[in-house]
Structure 1
Amino acid sequence: MAKYIFVTGGVVSGLGKGITASSLGVLLKASGLKVFMQKFDPYLNVDPGTMSPYQHGEVYVTADGAETDLDLGHYERFIDENLTRDSNITSGLIYKNVIEKERRGDYEGQTVQVVPHITNEIKNKVYSAAEKSGADVIITEIGGTVGDIESLPFIEAIRQVKMEQGGKNVIFMHVSLVPYIAASQEAKTKPTQHSVRELLSLGIQPDIVVARTEHHLEESVIDKIALFCNISSKHVLVAADAKTIYDVPLKLYEQNAQHVVSDLLNLNITKTDMGAWENFLSKIDCSAKEITIKLVGKYIELPDAYLSVSESLRIAGFENGVRIKIDWIKADDVTADNVDEILKDAMAILVPGGFGERGFEGKILAVQYAREHKIPFLGICFGMQAAVVEYARNVCGISDANSSELKTTNNPLIDIIEGKAKDDALGGTLRLGNYKATLQPGTLAAELYQQTEVLERHRHRYEFNNKYREQLETAGMIFSGIYEKENLVEIIELKDHPFFIASQYHPEFTSRPNKPNPLFNGFIKAAITKNQNS
């Protein structure tokens, strides 16, 4: 029988509920338990797939093809488990399912209401995740902040889960801000007290309070939080600012968070082996030298739009004993007149994914600079498409080469996926999730992966146009990874270059602490070599 942990947030958003939940997942997995994680988002979009990166940050794609919240990236990186479409549930999806049932007549003439129909649908998602995953513990983060109108159905649903499953099978963890007032040099507990009071008014008594703070908290402050939140002092965990997000699991471990949870849920945890995690932290501590990567992207005003890319770079850096500094370059700003000045000191250049025409020509120029100046280059999704178009224009002489997503052209090097149409609905109509690539022997891709086949995750609507494959191959481009079932190009690379590789898929979605994706690992190694030789 699965146990359930629900994580709520109080006072303000952006406290790090996802990191707290993920860190707890690390501890429970290190204690020998199977863990599955979920995020409930209160917005009315069915999923974040149609949302602007400026609104939402990155769209994280699961192996089974769900477009999800970026917190799922943290979940997967921390607990090293592939999550599924059961891991991200929005209000939009819940209401969509209920309305579809009502239209079919499934409710047999009942008046459809928030309680019980919406709350039952939410509970079904919780129980379905437990059944399908077979996990010992389901950790579910409730998006937003307690008191938000849109979160109320989720709060009511998890209250009912505890009533149905019993007190020893369900606990509530509340992450709340404890602000520090510099003028009086005091940590203030009143916001947390009010936040918990709001929860109590909704029928939920938190079992654990996680105090998010910038400073160390005195025992007297912890005792005060415990007293006014109706819990034991040992059930108040302190989450002070840490050097990196990866330090948080060890901080919770040092406070015996795993035993607090074990006692509340009768998990009988006797040993928690944090050796692998401590090994990763030691790599971070030993990474003294700094390497700068120039990232030429479209949405750099909000770095969260490239969250998994930046974390994958840092993870690969730690693996190779360096700290990664990212020089964020807005693709729109790169022109033929300034590209030399912007990229003249580049140790490595990365061009990530994106959609739409804006910034594409800047990405083309960045690719050209990396190719001609022998700078280590990694292209991802749209970055691979830019690399193909650049090569067609400047090496093969196809001057009007472009993507049909962007321009009407006689030479669409990149064209819409067969069977798709430009006027298809946006949501969920891309090539999404895991697809198998067969790697060509003797290529850089095969050397990096040390395998003949790889499974990687996709999110795109346009593909390389095979009509141009022979022409580009003759000119020297290597098509080193192919999805053989549909004969689709997955990886391109160049010979006679220290490191030039690009993938149609998103390798950032499979990087993990202690296990960087091979493309990122090779890219950082090439950047280190470039730096040493400069």
Structure 2
Amino acid sequence: MARFIFVTGGVVSSLGKGLLSASLAALLQARGYKCRIRKFDPYLNVDPGTMSPYQHGEVYVTDDGAETDLDLGHYERFSGVSAKQSDNVTTGRIYRDIIAKERRGDYLGATVQVVPHVTNAIKEFALTDTDGLDFVICEIGGTVGDIESLPFIEALRQLRNDLGRGNTVSVHTTLVPWIKAAGELKTKPTQHSVREISSLGVQPDVLLCRAEMPIPDSDKAKIAQFCNVPKSAVIEALDARSIYDVPLQYHREGLDDEVLAAFGITDAPRPDLARWDEIMDRLDHPEGEVTIGVVGKYVGLPDAYKSLREALVHGGIANRVKVNIKWVDAELFEQADANLATELEPMHAILVPGGFGERGSEGKIASVKFARERKVPFFGICLGMQMACIEGARNTAGIADASTTEFGDTPEPVVGLITEWMSPEGIQARAAGGDLGGTMRLGAYEATLGGNSRVAQIYGSTTISERHRHRYEVNSHYMAPLEKGGLVFSGMSPDGRLPEIVERPDHPWFIGVQFHPELKSRPFEPHPLFASFIEAAVQQSRLV
């Protein structure tokens, strides 16, 4: 039977529960254990698919088409285990399912309540699909004390009783703040946080204490005494120089040893952390550096492009170079006094990422034109590919009015709403006026690549599978004039109906993809497109 590790947080948000969960999974895997990580989100949205990136950061998409919390990206990048729809649940999804059952009469007239119906649904989610696993790590979103998280904490308490204390461990993250005026760390917020979760029936076994300064042994002893844990279970968590150093840092502090000890496991094999040492060696000792200009819409919140940022770092790891990312607001290039050259000339490569809506679109198109004309390596992802096609239509194919129906009516819809597509389950159809949530082309789909194309060389294959999240597609009726203008469609859906990849053979590196390759990149297995893109940037850096 799988053992369960529950990760909770207190005092403040953003203490790094997601990185803790991902790092702990990596450390347990390094000892030979099989792990899966799950995220419980207390908000009432069914999923984050309709939430603004400014509210929630990026939406992470799984192979099976789930729109999930960005923490699942951390889970995949650190563990290498592909997440599933069953690895993320929200309060909204739980209540939706319970209310649907109540309307059908499934509860046979019973009064539907938080306990037991909601808590049972949470427990069922935690226990589903765990065969063959050694550990299941469950991260509870939010902060202990929030009204929204109370049903999850109650379900956690019940699970600890249901499964037996020897089969569950609670890891609680807290803040040990540094008070500059007093010149000392304060342990009281941690004490209050542990008291809060203990009052709800969950006694933490291990404490991960975030701090800006090293925590003295005397303070660790004080925390241990007042929080009812061994001193060795008070784990110090200082800021790391890279998120990929976190597993190594936590191992040095004894996190994995303490978690295993809490389970009564004292004979676990030592972890093999060679690949994490190699990653950090490449990050700490680069043999050069490049600057990538990311021209996007949500650059004010880097979490909106979390996976993209990490995939660029992975490309740097593959080429042993430091990647400097310059976030550029696409709207800057729509102003009358805009100077693209001033902003983009220092860049060794330009990337236009995905997004939704018209704002900043003309700035993205101008960036594509700059990259095409100046022969700067260019990478367009999702909307970025569509903007590359519109730029090509306007400036190399002679279609001056080219645009997308996403931004309104247009006489030349080079990009339009996709109304049906083939999936493993059969034909999927969507209506223009339908719901927004969960109605896009989501998840992993195959594509067929041209045998002589650059992308086929990069992938080393003519058949690939990549994750999608979009509801607009390049209109295949415009393929002929676009190809005449030099933009080659080098990747198509297997049925030949949906364009997946475009490239310019007369350009050093110019590729646009309809999917999101950043979602499948790992630090120890960089995505081939990002590795090749950064390699092209390195070559460009030697020319300037």
Q: Could you say which TM-score interval applies, normalised by the shorter chain? A: over 0.9
Number of the residue aligned with 2:114: 114
CA distance in 1, matches of 2:216, 2:261: 25
Q: Identify the match of residue 259 of structure 2 among 258, 261, 264.
A: 261
Contact 2:235 2:254 in 1 (8 A): no
Q: Quick one: which amino acid aligns to residue 138 of structure 2? A: T
CA distance in 2, matches of 1:266, 1:456: 41
CA distance in 1, matches of 2:315, 2:368: 22
Q: Quick one: which amino acid aligns to residue 414 of structure 1? A: V
Q: Identify the match of residue 144 of structure 1 among 119, 142, 145.
A: 142
CA distance in 2, matches of 1:439, 1:81: 26
Number of equivalences: 532
Report SS of the residue matched to 1:334. helix
Contact 1:437 1:484 in 2 (8 A): yes
CA distance in 1, matches of 2:496, 2:13: 44
- Are residue 431 (structure 1) and residue 434 (structure 2) matched? no
Number of the residue aligned with 1:296: 295
CA distance in 1, matches of 2:233, 2:513: 47
Task: Give the alignment of 1:112-511 within 5 angstroms.
Answer: 112-131=112-131, 134-267=132-265, 268-287=267-286, 289-335=288-334, 337-418=338-419, 419-485=429-495, 487-511=497-521
Contact 2:449 2:491 in 1 (8 A): yes
Query: Over aligned residue pairs, what C-alpha RMSD do you find?
Result: 1.2
Contact 1:493 1:500 in 2 (8 A): yes
Contact 2:289 2:538 in 1 (8 A): no
CA distance in 2, matches of 1:254, 1:346: 38
Deviation at 1:47, TM superposition (A): 0.3
CA distance in 2, matches of 1:423, 1:247: 47
Deviation at 1:266, TM superposition (A): 4.2
| Larger deviation, residues 276-285 vs 195-204 | 276-285
- Are residue 517 (structure 1) and residue 518 (structure 2) matched? no
Q: Quick one: which amino acid aligns to residue 231 of structure 1? A: V
Number of the residue aligned with 2:83: 83
Contact 1:178 1:189 in 2 (8 A): yes
Report SS of the residue matched to 2:130. helix
CA distance in 2, matches of 1:62, 1:194: 37
Number of the residue aligned with 1:532: 542
CA distance in 2, matches of 1:175, 1:256: 15
CA distance in 2, matches of 1:467, 1:47: 35
Tell me the TM-score normalised to structure 1 length: 0.98
Deviation at 1:129, TM superposition (A): 3.9
CA distance in 2, matches of 1:174, 1:254: 18
CA distance in 2, matches of 1:105, 1:124: 20
Deviation at 1:271, TM superposition (A): 2.2
Contact 2:371 2:377 in 1 (8 A): yes
Report SS of the residue matched to 1:273. coil
Deviations 1:432-466 (A, max 9, x none): 01001111112110111111211110000011111
CA distance in 2, matches of 1:197, 1:476: 66
Number of the residue aligned with 1:46: 46
Contact 1:87 1:129 in 2 (8 A): no
Q: Quick one: which amino acid aligns to residue 307 of structure 1? A: K
Deviation at 1:361, TM superposition (A): 0.7
| Larger deviation, residues 512-521 vs 255-264 | 255-264
Contact 1:36 1:137 in 2 (8 A): yes
Deviation at 1:143, TM superposition (A): 0.5
Deviation at 1:486, TM superposition (A): 5.5
Deviations 1:279-321 (A, max 9, x none): 1111111126331111100011111101111111112112212
Deviation at 1:74, TM superposition (A): 0.8
Deviations 1:93-113 (A, max 9, x none): 011111011111111000000
CA distance in 2, matches of 1:512, 1:460: 23
Q: Quick one: which amino acid aligns to residue 319 of structure 1? A: A
Contact 2:368 2:378 in 1 (8 A): yes
Contact 2:61 2:467 in 1 (8 A): yes
Deviation at 1:147, TM superposition (A): 0.4
Structure 2: 5+ residue runs without aligned partners? 420-428
CA distance in 1, matches of 2:168, 2:287: 43
Report SS of the residue matched to 1:485. coil
Report SS of the residue matched to 1:363. helix
Percentage identity across aligned positions?
52
Contact 1:481 1:492 in 2 (8 A): yes
CA distance in 1, matches of 2:259, 2:272: 16
Deviation at 1:424, TM superposition (A): 1.0
Q: Quick one: which amino acid aligns to residue 377 of structure 1? A: F
